[in-house]
Amino acid sequence: MPAQYDLVVRNGQIADGTGGPLLDGDVAVSDGKIAAVGDISGTGREEINARGKVVTPGFVDIHTHYDGQATWDARLNPSSWHGVTTIVMGNCGVGFAPVRAHDHDRLIELMEGVEDIPGAALHEGLSWTWESFGEYLDAVERQRHDIDIGTQLPHGALRVYVMGERGAKLEAATGDDIAQMRNLSADAMRVGALGFSTSRTLNHKTVKGDPTPSLRASEAELTGIAQGLSDAGSGVIEMISDFNAPDLMTEWSMIRRIVETSRRPLTLSLAQGHGSANGWRSILGLIESASRDGLPIKAQVAPRPIGVLLGLQGTISPFITHAAFQEIREKPLNEKVRIMRDPAFRARILEESAQREKAHPLARGIMAFERMFPLGDPPNYEPPKETSIAAMAARSNRSPADVAYDLLLEDEGRAFLFSPFANYAEYNLDHCGEMIAHGDCVLGLGDGGAHVGLISDASFVTYLFTHWGRDRAKGRFDIGYLVKRQAADTARAVGLNDRGLLKPGMKGDLNVIDLERLAVKAPMMAYDLPAGGKRLLQGARGYDATIVSGEVIYRDGEPTGALPGKLIRGPQAAPN
Ligand SMILES: [Zn+2]
């Protein structure tokens, strides 16, 4: 008898994305879509035995920066190693279209500065065969991919395209500029953008140190662009703001009015600041009240600290400002390690550290050894306060720099120190648990494809399940609930109603997960970007199979060669 389905995943524990308890059963896929769920008697052309494994919809990561990589690379790694079958890029107002030929370098400098993607890699990797956003989408579509890609129109590129130098220099947009931006944003949505993104944070600067073009965009400009989305009848808005220009309530009222006027859904980055451990609650409270009034605003949140990885292979180490360290900074790793093991060199660095701490009372704060931890393998992203480098140093009567120096040399110089800069004010993740569970929050902020020398947070997705579903001593969630959060809820937040659930008619994107074995691997430095650029990569263990449109793309972490990923053009309706 011929097989009835293309693929049957048999005897798994199904987390179908609705958030309920796991149910034993099978999932069948045909023609790229879920064909049946439950007790399936027909056979599949391909069958996967999922006994003892959890079967989930593919995960949807709405916050990535693969805008360059997606034009030259078939694999959206690291995200596709983490069970992610759909990424959304073009976040934080940065990207590469629309663009005029004379602004190519400007957009590269912006991406390099904001997202720490090496300019040399972008220069070599980007083909610039596009000017309009639509032509950019065509270029992304010409490259085959492992997983699906959604795009957003980045404000930085849009503003420079319309206003040129004036846009880059943060000048106010004229009525004519705004009218053009509105038209272009409507056009971008019509050709397939899922939304528009903008940045209002001073943390986002070009590699030359200039603020991001959208930093002080007026309410009129933002409203105009949002109305472009309304004109097209689709599109979400992603925004990051410092909330301090001129003050929180002025900024918030403006954001609220933009959503009231445009009626387009908006997500806003939210994390716990280390200066005010409860500041996030005020912003979430405002979002709650907007939500009660029927405004589609959500906070975009992370499941763990957001922090930098310090190491001898990374962009920075705790000794980056030391003259002695500068001498060896560009040397290959083994050479660096050899020199650092020399007692005379070590003495020089530690002497410099001691001087620095004496000379600059703030140095300790900047170095922040109080909130710097050995990352370890497996990585520990919720380290107890007493394991900080400062605490270790105090216990052993050494200086923190002395302790850090040794830790950096571990694993032949490949070890990383983890220095959280958000979400770790109180040395625990209790508040992240609150955010994960909050109906007005959606998971994001992983920045896959970006910050490649400093941050490695695309692994948020796997960590959600290992830490919050399995390992944490308290405050754990049911796996079924977490699957809903990372699949269905994220997909809905960007208008993708055709995925995130294991239901007939939905996209045939699945994971078969060995939950006991599931793990976030230690980050490592790879030297595989165009022009030999380096990037932090972090894989996972325990994804037995990741399936896109019914095709297995990874089997136990190894690529199968299948590249069924598609560019998503516009919001997607739920199957009837
Ligand atoms: Zn971002």
Kindly report, residue by residue over 528-571, the tens digit of the pLDDT.
899 888 899 999 999 999 999 999 999 999 999 999 999 999 99
Mean pLDDT, the chain, rounded, equals 94
Longest CA pairwise span in the chain (Å): 81
Q: 341: burial class by Cβ within 10 Å (0-12, 13-18, 19+)?
A: exposed
How far apart CA 278 and CA 280 sit, in angstroms, is 5
Calculate how far, in angstroms, residue 67's C-alpha sits from the geometric centre of ligand 1. 11
Calculate how far, in angstroms, residue 286's C-alpha sits from the geometric centre of ligand 1. 22
Q: Which of 48, 57, 88 is nearest to 508 (CA)?
A: 57
Calculate how far, in angstroms, residue 552's C-alpha sits from the geometric centre of ligand 1. 29
Mean pLDDT of all residues in 92-99: 97
Calculate how far, in angstroms, residue 575's C-alpha sits from the geometric centre of ligand 1. 31
Calculate how far, in angstroms, residue 402's C-alpha sits from the geometric centre of ligand 1. 34
Calculate how far, in angstroms, residue 227's C-alpha sits from the geometric centre of ligand 1. 23
How far apart CA 327 and CA 350 sit, in angstroms, is 15
Q: Which two tokens stand for residue 415?
A: 């070890």
> What sections of 441-571 are H helices per DSSP?
460-466, 479-483, 489-493
Least confident of 281-295, 351-365, 505-519: 351-365
E strand intervals along 381-464 = 417-422, 441-443
Calculate how far, in angstroms, residue 15's C-alpha sits from the geometric centre of ligand 1. 29
CB 79 within 8 Å of CB 64: yes
The predicted structure's pLDDT at residue 239: 97
The predicted structure's pLDDT at residue 25: 98
Kindly report, residue by residue over 281-334, the tens digit of the pLDDT.
999 999 999 999 999 999 999 999 999 999 998 778 888 888 888 899 889 999
pTM assigned to the model: 0.96
Kindly report, residue by residue over 33-52, the tens digit of the pLDDT.
999 999 999 999 999 999 99
How far apart CA 356 and CA 64 sit, in angstroms, is 37
How far apart CA 407 and CA 387 sit, in angstroms, is 13
Angle formed at CA 234 by CA 228 and CA 237, multiple of 5 degrees: 70
Q: What's phi and psi for 255, nearest 5 deg?
A: -60, -45
How far apart CA 420 and CA 307 sit, in angstroms, is 4
Calculate how far, in angstroms, residue 126's C-alpha sits from the geometric centre of ligand 1. 20
**Ramachandran sector of residue 214 (left: φ over 0; alpha: ψ -120 to 50; beta: rest):** alpha
3-class SS of residue 221:
helix
| Element of type H or E holding 200 | strand 195-200
3-class SS of residue 575:
coil
pLDDT(371) > 80: yes
How far apart CA 99 and CA 158 sit, in angstroms, is 8
> What sections of 263-387 are H helices per DSSP?
279-292, 323-328, 333-340, 343-359, 363-367
pLDDT(278) > 70: yes
Calculate how far, in angstroms, residue 199's C-alpha sits from the geometric centre of ligand 1. 9
| Element of type H or E holding 199 | strand 195-200
Calculate how far, in angstroms, residue 238's C-alpha sits from the geometric centre of ligand 1. 9
How far apart CA 19 and CA 501 sit, in angstroms, is 10
Q: What's phi and psi for 239, nearest 5 deg?
A: -140, 140
- Residues 172-193 as b/e (b if ≥16 CB within 10 A, e otherwise) read ebeeebbebbbebbbbbbbbbb
Calculate how far, in angstroms, residue 291's C-alpha sits from the geometric centre of ligand 1. 24
Calculate how far, in angstroms, residue 395's C-alpha sits from the geometric centre of ligand 1. 38
Calculate how far, in angstroms, residue 147's C-alpha sits from the geometric centre of ligand 1. 19
Calculate how far, in angstroms, residue 449's C-alpha sits from the geometric centre of ligand 1. 10
Q: Are strands 510-513 and 417-422 parallel, antiparallel or unpaired?
A: unpaired
Q: 397: burial class by Cβ within 10 Å (0-12, 13-18, 19+)?
A: exposed
How far apart CA 196 and CA 151 sit, in angstroms, is 9
For ligand 1, a single-atom ion, which residues have Cβ within 5 Å? 91-92, 447
CB 151 within 8 Å of CB 567: yes
Q: CA dihedral defined by 533, 111, 248, 264, rounded to 10 degrees?
A: -120
Calculate how far, in angstroms, residue 426's C-alpha sits from the geometric centre of ligand 1. 24
Calculate how far, in angstroms, residue 142's C-alpha sits from the geometric centre of ligand 1. 25
Calculate how far, in angstroms, residue 63's C-alpha sits from the geometric centre of ligand 1. 6
Give the chain's length: 576
Calculate how far, in angstroms, residue 153's C-alpha sits from the geometric centre of ligand 1. 13
The predicted structure's pLDDT at residue 545: 98
Q: Which two tokens stand for residue 205?
A: 């600067």
Give Cα 34 to chain centroid, integer Å. Answer: 27
Kindly report, residue by residue over 188-233, the tens digit of the pLDDT.
999 999 999 999 998 899 988 999 999 999 999 999 999 999 999 9
Calculate how far, in angstroms, residue 573's C-alpha sits from the geometric centre of ligand 1. 26
Calculate how far, in angstroms, residue 91's C-alpha sits from the geometric centre of ligand 1. 5
Give Cα 477 to chain centroid, integer Å. Answer: 22
Amino acid type, 167: G
| Element of type H or E holding 259 | helix 248-262
Q: Which two tokens stand for residue 348?
A: 């020089």
Calculate how far, in angstroms, residue 62's C-alpha sits from the geometric centre of ligand 1. 10
Calculate how far, in angstroms, residue 383's C-alpha sits from the geometric centre of ligand 1. 25
Calculate how far, in angstroms, residue 444's C-alpha sits from the geometric centre of ligand 1. 9
How far apart CA 406 and CA 93 sit, in angstroms, is 40
Kindly report, residue by residue over 106-156, the tens digit of the pLDDT.
999 999 988 888 899 999 999 999 999 999 999 999 999 999 999 999 999
Angle formed at CA 460 by CA 455 and CA 465, multiple of 5 degrees: 155
pLDDT(345) > 80: yes
Q: Which positions ≥6 away from 557 have C-beta within 8 Å?
A: 81, 539, 540, 541, 543
Q: What are the distances in angstroms from CA 535 to CA 303, 445, 453, 455, 499?
A: 22, 18, 6, 10, 30
Q: Which two tokens stand for residue 215?
A: 């930093």
Calculate how far, in angstroms, residue 149's C-alpha sits from the geometric centre of ligand 1. 16
The predicted structure's pLDDT at residue 554: 98
Calculate how far, in angstroms, residue 448's C-alpha sits from the geometric centre of ligand 1. 8
How far apart CA 447 and CA 456 sit, in angstroms, is 8
Q: 361: burial class by Cβ within 10 Å (0-12, 13-18, 19+)?
A: exposed
Calculate how far, in angstroms, residue 92's C-alpha sits from the geometric centre of ligand 1. 5
Calculate how far, in angstroms, residue 315's C-alpha sits from the geometric centre of ligand 1. 18
First to last CA, the chain: 30
3-class SS of residue 405:
helix
Calculate how far, in angstroms, residue 94's C-alpha sits from the geometric centre of ligand 1. 8
How far apart CA 62 and CA 91 sit, in angstroms, is 9
Confidence of residue 358 (pLDDT cuts 50, 70, 90): low
Calculate how far, in angstroms, residue 406's C-alpha sits from the geometric centre of ligand 1. 33
Kindly report, residue by residue over 429-482, the tens digit of the pLDDT.
999 999 999 999 999 999 999 888 888 999 999 999 999 999 999 999 999 999
Confidence of residue 366 (pLDDT cuts 50, 70, 90): very low
Calculate how far, in angstroms, residue 382's C-alpha sits from the geometric centre of ligand 1. 22
